[in-house]
Copies of this chain bind each other. A is one copy, B any other.
Amino acid sequence: MALKLDYTCLLAGGPQGETGVSADDLAAAEAAHGARLGRLRAQRAEGSVGFYDLPDERGPARAAMEYAESRRGHFENVVVLGIGGSALGTLALHAALSPPLVDHERGTTNRPRLFVVDNVDPVLVSGVLRTANPARSLFVVISKSGSTAETMSQFLLFLEALKVQLKDKWTEHVVVITDGSKGHLRPFADAHDLVSFTVPDNVGGRFSALSAVGLLPGACLGWDLEALLDGASAGRDACLRDDFRDNPAALYATTHHLLDTRVGCPIQVLFPYSHQLRLLADWQVQLVAESLGKRTADGVGVGPTPHKAVGATDQHSQVQLFAEGPVDKVFTFLRVLEHTDDVIIPEPPPGLEALDYLGGKSFAQLIDAECRATNIALVDAGRPCCAILFPRVSAATVGEYLMWMEVATAYGGQLYGVDAFDQPGVEAGKVATYGLMGRSGFEAEAARVSARHLSDAATLVG
């Protein structure tokens, strides 16, 4: 195991004081651990929840690497058409595992750029169309159902652009990642003999980063997929341990659930002190929000609010609120113990002697000092904090982290009494969109939303 979870400052009576999980509450959670773990294992064994097994299935990674190898030298750009779970894992892994600032250069066939088109704003879509020449780009279309309006509207656009430029050769520029049998994209891929990959039926979008959804882009961009999956495999095993006090997922989920429901800290701040790990926060926001933000069987709305901060940047943005505002937050510092590419800060020139203390130190020392200092300051202010220690940022540690948080979220579903794997709350908006866009079969909804007035002249001001 490479990662460590340090939850000392989450327990009442710890260095941060009395705001924390009580020993009794933690003991009660420990007593229930066996049963909770048993239900997770049962879901895995019966095949209803599949993300646990993604690290062991090396076929997709090998197929992705073979595909990338066979097409190496052909593409300057990898363009992912996907949104939500089809985008956030790839974005987080790209930030962590691709060369920094790789997208700030014209792509080359040796070092392609990545575009993740995760919105339908015409400014973004037309910008990608202009910037990434379709003839030199690979389009990775990701939608389990093949009906995601955002992704499919983009696919229609880029497909037409490809056909104009490449005629019948367009098929060499498209990879489809979709359900194994259901939905609209599978038959389309088959009909055109497109390269395609499968998202297992029992793996939801937000748990799919380690499936072909993340692996295929990663193979094209040169990530170490074997190490990624090895790390995830080790992380999964740790998170299924019977010993509650030795199980990072159970401890993370339990302490955070108790801090929300018993201590009054529903806002969970993920605070990576790392440029490379910063987008893990966006990935985790979806994972937690969409899995645990639910109505219980009693109709009560529950779930924490995951919130992003980036260190050291947000010391100059959010730490004022974190230190002095309401005690309604719990903080998870991601601390990197060994930074790569370290740079020494030069000695200051005459006139800037006040900066003498910086000269000769390194940027790694500085960001680590800021991480520790902010952690101490929040603890001194009585705020519950934990830290996850990364020996370094690597495919293995990031893979391990993804699995820790995925298992913790599945575990959290039981604590909150909700299904961590559905998302009924997004249906109403989708149906209203279909109504507004005039989709056949949604005429009643079109009439309903057209009649729904949200505005009143008396409360419109400018």
Restricting to A404-440, which residues have a CB under 8 Å from any CB of B?
A: 423-426, 428-440
Q: Quick one: which of A58-94 are within 8 Å of B by CB? A: 83-85, 87-88
Complex CA distance for A319 and B289, rounded to whole angstroms: 8
A432 in contact with B365 (CB, 8 Å): no
Chain B positions within 8 Å of A205 at CB level? 316
Whether a CB of chain B sits under 8 angstroms from the CB of A18 is no
Residue of B nearest to A436 (CB): B369
Identify 24 residue pairs between A and B in the complex whose beta-carbon atoms are under 8 Å apart, listed by A's number: A5-B462, A6-B459, A87-B313, A100-B124, A103-B103, A105-B105, A105-B131, A119-B310, A121-B276, A122-B363, A126-B341, A127-B341, A153-B358, A156-B355, A157-B345, A157-B363, A159-B349, A251-B461, A295-B324, A305-B305, A324-B425, A357-B439, A372-B432, A373-B435
Give the top 5 A-B pairs by smallest Cβ distance, nearest first.
Answer: A84-B316, A293-B321, A373-B432, A100-B127, A293-B325
A118 within 8 A of B: yes
Cross-chain contact B156 with A345 (CB below 8 angstroms): yes
Chain B nearest CB from A370 CB (Å) reads 5
Partner of A351, one of B119, B187, B423: B187
Known contacts A461-B246, A462-B248; is-contact A324 B377 (Cβ 8 Å): no
Q: How many copies does the complex hold?
A: 2
- A400 and B153 alpha carbons, distance in the complex (Å): 33
Which chain A residues (319-377) contact chain B, with CB distance < 8 Å? 319-329, 339-343, 345-349, 351-352, 354-359, 361-367, 369-370, 372-377
| Set of chain B residues within 8 Å of A127, measured between Cβ atoms | 99-101, 341
A437 in contact with B313 (CB, 8 Å): no
- A104-121 residues with Cβ-Cβ distance < 8 A to B are 104-106, 113, 115, 118-121
Chain B residues whose CB sits within 8 angstroms of the CB of A362 once the complex forms: 122
Distance of A254 Cα from B400 Cα, bound (Å) = 45
Q: In the complex, are the beta carbons of A325 and B348 less than 8 A apart?
A: no
Give every chain B residue within 8 A of A449 (Cβ-Cβ): 372-373, 376
- Give the docked Cα–Cα distance between A8 and B453 (Å): 10
Tell yes or no: A285 within 8 A of B by CB. yes
Question: What does the 1/0 interface line of A187-209 toward B look like (CB < 8 Å)?
Answer: 11001000000000000010000
User: Does A262 reach chain B (CB closer than 8 Å)?
Assistant: no
| Residues A437 and B369 in contact in the complex (CB < 8 Å), given A129-B343, A428-B323 | yes
12 A-B pairs besides A156-B348, A248-B461, A357-B434 with CB distance below 8 A are A3-B462, A83-B316, A85-B316, A104-B104, A106-B106, A122-B364, A153-B345, A159-B349, A266-B326, A289-B317, A289-B325, A293-B320
In the complex, the chain B residue whose C-beta lies closest to that of A385 is B454
CB contact under 8 A between A188 and B425, given known A121-B367, A455-B8, A462-B238: no
Question: Given A15-B452, A317-B285, A459-B8, are A312 and B101 neighbors across the interface (CB < 8 Å)?
Answer: no
B461, A245: Cβ atoms closer than 8 Å: yes
How many interface residues does chain A have, given as a range?
35 or more
On whether the beta carbons of B184 and A354 are closer than 8 Å, the reply is yes
Say yes or no: B428 contacts A381, CB within 8 Å: yes
Task: Report if A379-B301 is in contact (Cβ < 8 Å); known contacts: A363-B120, A425-B323, A426-B319.
Answer: no
Task: Tell me if A315 is interfacial: C-beta within 8 Å of chain B.
Answer: yes
Which segment, of A44-52, A144-152, A222-230, faces chain B? A144-152
Minimum Cβ distance to chain B for residue A276 (Å): 6
A123 at the interface (CB under 8 A from B): yes
Alpha-carbon distance A125/B153, docked complex (angstroms): 38
Partner of A456 from B8, B153, B385 at Cβ < 8 Å:
B8
B340 lies within 8 A of A321 (CB): no
User: What's the nearest-Cβ distance from chain B to residue A234, in Å?
Assistant: 10
Interchain CB contact under 8 A, A126 and B325: no
Q: Please give the distance in Å from A10's CB to the nearest CB on chain B.
A: 8
Contact (Cβ within 8 A) A377 B429:
yes
